[in-house]
Amino acid sequence: MKCTACDVEFGDGQFCPECGALCAQPNEVQERAAAMTPSQCLADKYRIEQLVYTGMTNVYRGSIGEQVVMIRETPIMQSSSEPAKTDAEHGEVERQAPQQAPLKAEFELLQLVHSDCFARPCDYFVDGGKEYLVTDWPAGERLSAILSGGMVGEETSVRVALQLCEAIAKLHESGFAHLDIEPNNVLFDKGQVRLLNCGRSRKFDADCLDCLTTDGYSAPELSKEGTILQDGRPDIYSIGAVMYTMLTGKVLPFGDSQPHVLADVSQPELARILLQCLAANPELRCKTAGDLQQRLQLYRDTTKTRVRCETAIASDIGMVRQNNEDCGLAFDTVVWRESKAESFGLYVVADGMGGERGGETASTTAISEIWRAISESLIAPSSADCNEVIKTAIERANKEIYILARDNPALHGMGTTATLGFRRGRDLFLGHAGDSRAYLIRDGQIRQLTEDHSVVSNLLKAGMITAAEAKTRPDRGVITRSLGGAPGVVVDKMKEGKLTLQDRDTLVFCTDGLVNNVSDELIMAEVSRASSVQSACGQLVARANRAGGDDNVTVIVVRMTA
């Protein structure tokens, strides 16, 4: 047999196992549910445009003026639990059996819930022994159609489940359970989730004897004789089943879901949430849609802190110098602490000075001491002040370089710049001394995050020279602050305290061998067109060398990925 609603092929039986539509009907019912034809007018105001599907309930696309509506039609059935009439010949008063009007009940429920997550009720009326429910036309695509192309991924799955929780919570607050949450009844419209109809909804404390069910999505207790609907936990099961399908592309088989979830869902915390939805015993499930929503939101907030970035570093001696006094460090890592994963990044460039091997010693000592101090902080409590951690790290490096220079005559006068970026999650903290630089490239703009501690920079700020003059001054390499020149050092940090990084942001850390030979605009251009961060580093070094390469150059490029 072929379903009249969703075209699924199935065996014997009146109801479609996929969507629950009544497909085999007594002749009398089929006659009463005969479909209207296009262009027919209903209730003197609705124009029938198309029969969408037929069955016990006919569904039409219609219009009233310019508004497109969905019209559902079903015969009003007399209850079989009462006789249709009494015997009037024996003097008894004639009584009509109570009528069942499921569309009226659904209309009243939609009015009660009044949410964008459900169809918007427009009208209800009875005409010729049939009842009609008119709602807005459901724009968008069914989730079942989206899933026909395969699973949709974790982010979309959690987002859909959160919206389903929000919708179902409103229904539960009104004392009803939905009982029909499955991909064919979930609509996706520009990221907004809607449930197509509430035709199976039941009031709490109702008998579930004649509840329609959908294999793979309906809670198992709904198929058991004598089940009383105590609360909304069958809907919790259905949301979990829909999530499972979105994550895996599979439909849960009937029975124990635990081995399937554990085998098919790779994220342990998400698997635990699903198991709390799909427990065969309703008492073991999340008690309310709000409880499930809270757990999913916490999971989503936690996973949002996962940061994906690409990092590369390059350093070159240049075209003039005999040795490379620059030093750099770039790494990204993840630390597990208190059952949570936290992403960190450390990016440091140091430009040493001091003749012979003094510059190399100063820059490598700076990197070494900074690395030790920062790595110790990674296992410290997560509440540690990152700006204070950076300040301490640079001060430690300064002290070590100062002692080495003081105690070793061959190293007298050595020093180094240090520009340090410390990333915790998406938050970037900076520490800086000297004229090495950090840049942010965002939305086609480049912004210098650090301030040069140099003679030329001071003259520029005072308005004593122009930017063009600054590029040609012989004292452009003279810095006013460095590590190792004194027992203490003033460490600059960002005025805002930190910078929150966005997807597709790019950071560039570099020594003055790059900025003295390549303009900010060219730095941005090279980084923006590079196919990878490693390629960007190589192109920037090549640019500096083509422009003369009169100094060592070290570049770190960090790109936040979507």
The pLDDT of residue 32: 42
Which DSSP state fits 482? -
Q: Tokens 């010949």, residue?
A: 89
Residue 96: pLDDT band (50, 70, 90) is very low
For 280-339, list the strands marked E by DSSP. Answer: 309-316, 326-337
- Span 430-470, pLDDT tens digits: 999 999 999 999 999 999 999 999 998 888 888 888 877 87
The whole-number average pLDDT for the span 65-81 is 81
Nearest to 424 by CA among 455, 382, 464: 382
Q: Which two tokens stand for residue 59?
A: 């569904």
**Burial class, 380, CB count within 10 angstroms (exposed 0-12 / middle 13-18 / buried 19+):** exposed
Determine if residue 551 is left, alpha or beta; phi over 0 gives left, psi from -120 to 50 gives alpha, anything else beta. Answer: beta
Residue 395: pLDDT band (50, 70, 90) is very high
Q: Which homologous superfamily does the CATH classification assign to the domain defined by 309-560? A: PPM-type phosphatase domain (3.60.40.10)
Q: Residue by residue, what is the 3-state secondary structure of 3-20?
A: CCCCCCECCCCCECCCCC
The pLDDT of residue 461: 83
The whole-number average pLDDT for the span 10-31 is 48
Mean pLDDT is lowest, of 149-153, 485-489, 546-550, for 149-153
Give domain limits for the chain: 1-81+98-137, 141-304, 309-560
Distance of alpha carbon 397 from alpha carbon 371, whole angstroms: 10
- Span 176-207, pLDDT tens digits: 999 999 999 999 888 889 998 898 999 999 88
Q: Which of 19-28, 87-96, 467-476, 489-498 has the largest mean confidence?
A: 489-498
Residue 19: pLDDT band (50, 70, 90) is low
How many CA atoms lie within 13 Å of 264's alpha carbon, on the beta-carbon side?
Answer: 21
Q: Tokens 């037929």, residue?
A: 54
Q: Tokens 């050595």, residue?
A: 414
Which whole-number Å values give the CA distances from 131 to 32, 99, 124, 134, 437, in the listed order? 11, 11, 7, 10, 74
Q: In b/e form, how buried is each residue of 344-361, taking b as 16+ CB within 10 angstroms? A: bbbbbbbbbbbeeebbbb
Distance of alpha carbon 145 from alpha carbon 113, whole angstroms: 27
How many CA atoms lie within 13 Å of 80's alpha carbon, on the beta-carbon side?
Answer: 0
Which DSSP state fits 34? P
- Span 25-51, pLDDT tens digits: 433 334 445 788 899 999 999 999 999
DSSP string, 504-553: T-EEEEE-HHHHTTS-HHHHHHHHHH-SSHHHHHHHHHHHHHHTT--S-E
Distance of alpha carbon 492 from alpha carbon 490, whole angstroms: 7
The pLDDT of residue 308: 83
- The H helix count followed by the E strand count for the chain is 15, 24
In the predicted structure, residue 306 carries a pLDDT above the cut 90: no
Q: Which residues, other chains included, contact 33 with Cβ-Cβ below 8 Å and sequence gap of 6+?
A: 25, 54, 55, 56, 57, 58, 73, 74, 75, 130
Mean pLDDT is lowest, of 119-128, 265-274, 320-329, 378-387, for 378-387
The pLDDT of residue 54: 82
The whole-number average pLDDT for the span 266-271 is 88
The whole-number average pLDDT for the span 550-555 is 96
Distance of alpha carbon 79 from alpha carbon 56, whole angstroms: 16
Distance of alpha carbon 191 from alpha carbon 193, whole angstroms: 6
Distance of alpha carbon 365 from alpha carbon 82, whole angstroms: 94
In whole angstroms, what separates CA 548 from the centre of its chain?
46
Asked whether 475 and 452 are in contact (CB, 8 A), the reply is: no
Mean pLDDT is lowest, of 21-30, 167-176, 518-527, for 21-30
Mean pLDDT is lowest, of 36-40, 94-98, 176-180, 517-521, for 94-98
The whole-number average pLDDT for the span 65-87 is 71
The pLDDT of residue 82: 45
Residue % of the chain over a pLDDT of 90: 65
Q: Residue by residue, what is the 3-state secondary structure of 180-237?
A: CCCHHHEEEECCEEEECCCCCCEECCCECCCCCCCCCCCCHHHHCCCCECCCCHHHHH
Q: Tokens 């390469």, residue?
A: 549
pTM of the predicted model over 0.75: no
Distance of alpha carbon 509 from alpha carbon 554, whole angstroms: 8
Q: Which two tokens stand for residue 18?
A: 């996929």
Q: Which two tokens stand for residue 452?
A: 């040069």
The pLDDT of residue 219: 94
Q: What is the mean pLDDT of the chain?
A: 87
- Span 216-250, pLDDT tens digits: 999 999 988 888 999 999 999 999 999 999 999 99
Q: Checking DSSP bridges between strand 130-136 and strand 553-560, what pairing results, if any?
A: unpaired
Q: Which homologous superfamily does the CATH classification assign to the domain defined by 1-81+98-137? A: Phosphorylase Kinase; domain 1 (3.30.200.20)
Q: What are phi and psi of 229, to 5 degrees?
A: -75, 100
The pLDDT of residue 523: 98
Q: Tokens 């960190």, residue?
A: 344
Q: Residue by residue, what is the 3-state secondary structure of 120-158?
A: CEEEEEEECCEEEEEEECCCCEEHHHHHCCCCCCHHHHH
Mean pLDDT is lowest, of 95-99, 265-269, 273-277, for 95-99
Determine if residue 150 is left, alpha or beta; phi over 0 gives left, psi from -120 to 50 gives alpha, anything else beta. Answer: left
What is the arrangement of strands in the sheet containing 309-316, beginning at the earlier edge strand? 309-316, 553-560, 506-510, 437-442, 445-448
Q: Fold match between 1-81+98-137 and 141-304?
A: no
The pLDDT of residue 378: 84
The pLDDT of residue 135: 95
The pLDDT of residue 535: 97
The pLDDT of residue 381: 65
Q: Which homologous superfamily does the CATH classification assign to the domain defined by 141-304? A: Transferase(Phosphotransferase) domain 1 (1.10.510.10)
Q: Which two tokens stand for residue 423?
A: 């990333």
Residue 81: pLDDT band (50, 70, 90) is very low
Q: Which of 103-107, 153-157, 365-369, 374-378 has the largest mean confidence?
A: 365-369
- Rg of the chain over Cα atoms, rounded to whole angstroms, equals 35
In the predicted structure, residue 83 carries a pLDDT above the cut 70: no
Q: Which of 288-292, 382-386, 423-427 has the largest mean confidence?
A: 288-292
Distance of alpha carbon 273 from alpha carbon 286, whole angstroms: 9
Asked whether 188 and 156 are in contact (CB, 8 A), the reply is: no
In the predicted structure, residue 11 carries a pLDDT above the cut 80: no
The whole-number average pLDDT for the span 502-522 is 95
